[in-house]
C-alpha cells in the first residue's frame, strides 16, 4: 500500500477540512503607545505602521481596533516627566490612567490590559528602584503594586507586570485585593527573556536603560528549565494568565510552558520580530503579509492561546477583508 499524504492537500476545501490550527481576530491583543500631551499621533521610526498616540486620539483608535474584531489592547505609557522612582506611573492623572478612561468611555467592552513596569517612568530607564547601582527587588514591589492599583482604579481589566522582579505577582495581587479590586485580573509576563528583540520598543517607549542592561532581572535566553520554574511560581502566586516573551525565537518555550500550564497562555510577538518583517518587506525581499500570517499561525500552533502583536490590525484585515 502506498502512503500518499498529498491526498489531504488536493483542494482548498480538503485542506480547510483537515487544518489543525486556525487564527481568528479573537486571538489578538494590540499594543498601544500613549504619550502625555495633546496633538497628532506620531509615527515610530523603528516600527513602520505603529504610532505614539495622545490621550485625545486614543478613544478613536480603540474604536477602529474594536471594529476590526480585536477584543483587547495592552497599553504602554510615555509620561510627561521621569524621575528616579517612576512616580508618574502611579499618578491618578498619569498618561495611562487618563488613556484607560478615554478608551472605556468610547469602547466600554474593549478589554484593557496595562503593562505594569517602571522603565518608561524612571530617568535611569531600569524596571525598578535603584539602590547601590542595582535594581532593588523588594523596594520595587511596593511601587509596582501602587501602579497596578492606580490602573485598576482607572478601569483596567487586567494588569500585566513585565518587570521580572521576584514575588511581584503575589505582591500586586495582595494589594489589588486589599483595595477592593478582587475582580481585576493579573497577566504575568512570567517568562521574559533578556532579548535584543526589544530594541525597537525601547525607541517607541523611550525606555532604554541608561547604564548596564536588564540581565540581572530578565531571563537568560539559554535557559528552558528555568522557564518552567518561572511559570509555576507565577501560577502559584495567583496569576490569571501567563506569558512567554519574545515569541518566535522561543516557540520551544511556548510549547513546554503550555504543557505544564492550566491557565490561558499568551505569547508576545515583540517589536524586533515585527520590524524585521517590515524591513525585509520594504526591501522587497519577502511577502510581508504572508510572512506575518505564517508567523502568527506558528505561534498559535506552538500552543499560545493569545498573541500580543503589532500585526493585529493588519492580520485582522486579512482575516476579514469585508471589514476594511
Ligand atoms: C517593559 C517592556 C518591554 C517590552 C514590553 N514591556 C521592554 C523591555 O523589557 O525592555 C518589549 C516589547 C517589545 O519589544 O515589543 N516595560
Q: What are the residue boundaries of the structural domains of the chain, listed by start?
A: 21-323
Does the annotation mark 35 as catalytic?
Answer: no
* 96 CA from centroid of ligand 1 (Å): 16
- Cell numbers for 41: 499621533
What percent of the chain has a predicted confidence (pLDDT) above 90? 96
CATH of region 21-323? 3.20.20.70
pLDDT tens across 84-140, in order?
999 999 999 999 999 999 999 999 999 999 999 999 999 999 999 999 999 999 999
Locate the ligand 1 atom nearest the alpha carbon of residue 271 and give its number.
15
pLDDT at 236 over 80: yes
- Cell numbers for 263: 491557565
Q: Note the pTM of the prediction, 2 decimals.
A: 0.97
pLDDT tens across 41-71, in order?
999 999 999 999 999 999 999 999 999 999 9
pLDDT tens across 245-257, in order?
999 999 999 999 9
pLDDT at 190 over 70: yes
* The residue to which cell 504619550 is assigned: 35
CB-CB neighbours of 46 under 10 Å: 17
pLDDT at 323 over 80: no
With contact defined as beta carbons under 8 Å apart, do 191 and 230 qualify? yes
Does the annotation mark 192 as catalytic?
Answer: yes
Whole-angstrom distance, CA of residue 52 vs CA of residue 121: 16
* 240 CA from centroid of ligand 1 (Å): 20
Amino acid at each position: 500500500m502506498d502512503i500518499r499524504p498529498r491526498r489531504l492537500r488536493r483542494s482548498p476545501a480538503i485542506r480547510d477540512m483537515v487544518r489543525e490550527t486556525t487564527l481568528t481576530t479573537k486571538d489578538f491583543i494590540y499594543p498601544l503607545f500613549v504619550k502625555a500631551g495633546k496633538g497628532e499621533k506620531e509615527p515610530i521610526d523603528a516600527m513602520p505602521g505603529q504610532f505614539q498616540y495622545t490621550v485625545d486620539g486614543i478613544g478613536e483608535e480603540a474604536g477602529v481596533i474594536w471594529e476590526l474584531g480585536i477584543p483587547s489592547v495592552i497599553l504602554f505609557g510615555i509620561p510627561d516627566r521621569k524621575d528616579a522612582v517612576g512616580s508618574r506611573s502611579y499618578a491618578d492623572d498619569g498618561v495611562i490612567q487618563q488613556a484607560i478612561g478615554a478608551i472605556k468611555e468610547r469602547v466600554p467592552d474593549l478589554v484593557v490590559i496595562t503593562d505594569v513596569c517602571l522603565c518608561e517612568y524612571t530617568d535611569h530607564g531600569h524596571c525598578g528602584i535603584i539602590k547601590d547601582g542595582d535594581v532593588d527587588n523588594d523596594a520595587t514591589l511596593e511601587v509596582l503594586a501602587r501602579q497596578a492599583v492606580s490602573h485598576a482604579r482607572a478601569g483596567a481589566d487586567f494588569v500585566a507586570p513585565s518587570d521580572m522582579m521576584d514575588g511581584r505577582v503575589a505582591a500586586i495581587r495582595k494589594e489589588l485585593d486589599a483595595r477592593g479590586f478582587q475582580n481585576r485580573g493579573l497577566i504575568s509576563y512570567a517568562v521574559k527573556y533578556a532579548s535584543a528583540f526589544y530594541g525597537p520598543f525601547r525607541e517607541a517607549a523611550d525606555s532604554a536603560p541608561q547604564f548596564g542592561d536588564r540581565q540581572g532581572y530578565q531571563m537568560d535566553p539559554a535557559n528552558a528549565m528555568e522557564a518552567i520554574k518561572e511559570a509555576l511560581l507565577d501560577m502559584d502566586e495567583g496569576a490569571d494568565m501567563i506569558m512567554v516573551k519574545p515569541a518566535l525565537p522561543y516557540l520551544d518555550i511556548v510549547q513546554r510552558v503550555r504543557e505544564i500550564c492550566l491557565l490561558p497562555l499568551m505569547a508576545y510577538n515583540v517589536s524586533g520580530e515585527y520590524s524585521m518583517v517590515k524591513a525585509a518587506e520594504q526591501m522587497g525581499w519577502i511577502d510581508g503579509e504572508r510572512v506575518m500570517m505564517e508567523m502568527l499561525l506558528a505561534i498559535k500552533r506552538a500552543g499560545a492561546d493569545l498573541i500580543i502583536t503589532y500585526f493585529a490590525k493588519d492580520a485582522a484585515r486579512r482575516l476579514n477583508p469585508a471589514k476594511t
